[in-house]
Amino acid sequence: MANNSYDRRVVITGMGVVTPLGHDLDTFWQNLITGQCGIDTISSFDASPFATQVAGEVKNFDPAPAFPSPKDIRRADRYSQFGVYAAWSALKDSGLELAKENCDEIGVFIGSGIGGLQTTTEQLKILLERGPSRLSPFMIPMLISNMASGLVSMYFNLRGPNFATCSACATANHAIGEAWRTIKMGDAQVMLAGGAEAAVIPVGIGGFCAMRAMSTRNDDPKHASRPFDKERDGFVMGEGAGVLVLEELEHAKKRGAKIYCEIAGYGNTADAYHLTTPSPGGEGAARCMKMALRHGRLNLTDVSYINAHGTSTPQGDVCETQAIKTVFGDHAKKLVVSSTKGATGHMLGAAGAVEMAACALAIKNSIVPPTINYQVPDPECDLDYVPNTAREMPVNAIINNSFGFGGHNSTIAAKKFVG
């Protein structure tokens, strides 16, 4: 295996996304920085009985290029189809020639917050209507939340470390952070890391409606998700996947890989407070950001951009703003903060990876994506949220926040690569 050294540097060399803004990296990025919105009235089922009738759906998706056969597609839940496709896209983007690599040193951490909810729903209906003998023998492998990670390892013969993180909306960021740690520890040379989610189905929408957590701005879907705006009324669900190729620096340099940015640090804390509500003042989130900065040996003034968790919930956006001010003090007013969830919806367990891809592209292209639908300032959310229009500016270091139900907090710190 690779030589042990806790100071090994880790870079991002490939990225793949499946999102409501597009199924490839370039389309996603162009739509994101031009302020497009992938949220609309739900079209995959009749949502009229539901309090929330809008979502960020992935439309016109064809998983076939990433799968060995049509049979394999049928045996994969929609969330796994997203995850496998995003991993396939990331590998293509990275330029890795797997035939020339030691695949014992390439691993996969792709998680899901909810897993195969569509399969669970469909099979429960069969059980109730037709009896247990008619259940599919593929039901369990399709619905378990580790299967996207398992399928990617099988299809590409990646035999290194492999598991699935599951920490609600912090899932993908935790996968990236644990992959970073795995490479730094010398247990892999390359890791595919991210998350996948497909919960825009009746039971998924209904469950969150029952919590009264989602926006009910059904008459104006394009403006339903409005992070940090005073008139925000809840999050909008999205679906899709994001997978990043993380690589040990010397390995990447040896093969002449393009490098988007360097992963500098990782924070992982718990609120230990409430099932769904963040701790007062964002205390747990603040500790998480501090940990990522400490790992990355980054000064507060090094950070120029924060990709906020920013879900468009009344309480969550205030707590995150308070956490940022707690960590950054006077510098909080000088850095820029944006949430891309106004454009994609909240992709739950996939959100952190898709947003990390946006961060990496912000660093590479010196453009910060906007917070769309920001119209009415909230006195309690008083930072620079890059309202409505992308901003060209140097982006030297970023942090990417993801926080999940259960009090799970995850932060990734990254910086411009300097050889």
Question: pLDDT digit string (tens) for 377-405?
Answer: 999 999 999 999 999 999 999 999 999 99
Query: Is 309 marked active-site?
Result: yes
Q: What is the pLDDT of residue 411?
A: 98
Question: Considering only CA atoms, which of 2, 394, 377, 63 is closest in space to residue 186?
Answer: 2
Report how far residue 221's alpha carbon sits from residue 224's, in angstroms, rounded to the nearest whole number: 5
Residue 224 φ/ψ, nearest 5 degrees: -70, -40
Mode of pairing for the β-strands spanning 408-415 and 397-404: antiparallel
pLDDT at position 276 is 85
The answer to whether the CB of 176 falls within 8 A of the CB of 194 is: yes
Q: How crowded is residue 378: how many other Cβ atoms within 10 Å of its Cβ? A: 17
3-class secondary structure per residue, 290-314 = HHHHHHCCCCHHHCCEEECCCCCCH
pLDDT band, residue 130 (cuts 50/70/90): very high
Tell me the whole-structure pTM to 2 decimals: 0.96
Question: Is 274 among the catalytic positions?
Answer: no
Examine the pLDDT at 4 and tell me if it is beyond 80.
no
Q: What average pLDDT does the structure give for the chain?
A: 96
CB atoms within 10 A of CB 400: 27
Predicted pLDDT at 2: 45
| CA-closest candidate to residue 28, choices 318, 329, 242, 222 | 242
pLDDT at 5: 56
pLDDT digits (tens, 9 = 90+) for 341-384: 999 999 999 999 999 999 999 999 999 999 999 999 999 999 99
Please give the average per-residue pLDDT across 114-130, as a whole number.
Answer: 97
Which position among 223, 251, 295, 346 bears the catalytic label?
A: 346
Average pLDDT over residues 289-311: 97
Nearest-5° angle of CA 390, CA 391, CA 392?
125
Distance CA 51, CA 232 (A): 16
Catalytic-labelled residue, pool 169, 261, 288, 359: 169
pLDDT surpasses 80 at 1:
no
261 is catalytic: no
Closest-CA residue to 148 (of 113, 181, 174): 113
Structure tokens at 349: 């367990």
Please, what are the domains in the chain? Answer: 11-254 (3.40.47.10), 266-412 (3.40.47.10)
Residues 42-61: what's their mean pLDDT? 98
Mean pLDDT throughout 50-60? 98
Q: Which of 62, 148, 80, 155 is nearest to 118 (CA)?
A: 80
Q: How far apart are CA 253 and CA 43, in angstroms?
A: 45
> What is the C-alpha to C-alpha distance for residues 32 and 199, in angstroms, rounded to an integer?
22
The pair of three-digit structure tokens given for residue 321, joined into one six-digit string: 């703003």
Q: Catalytic pick from 261, 309, 319, 408?
A: 309
Which H or E element spans position 264? Answer: strand 261-270
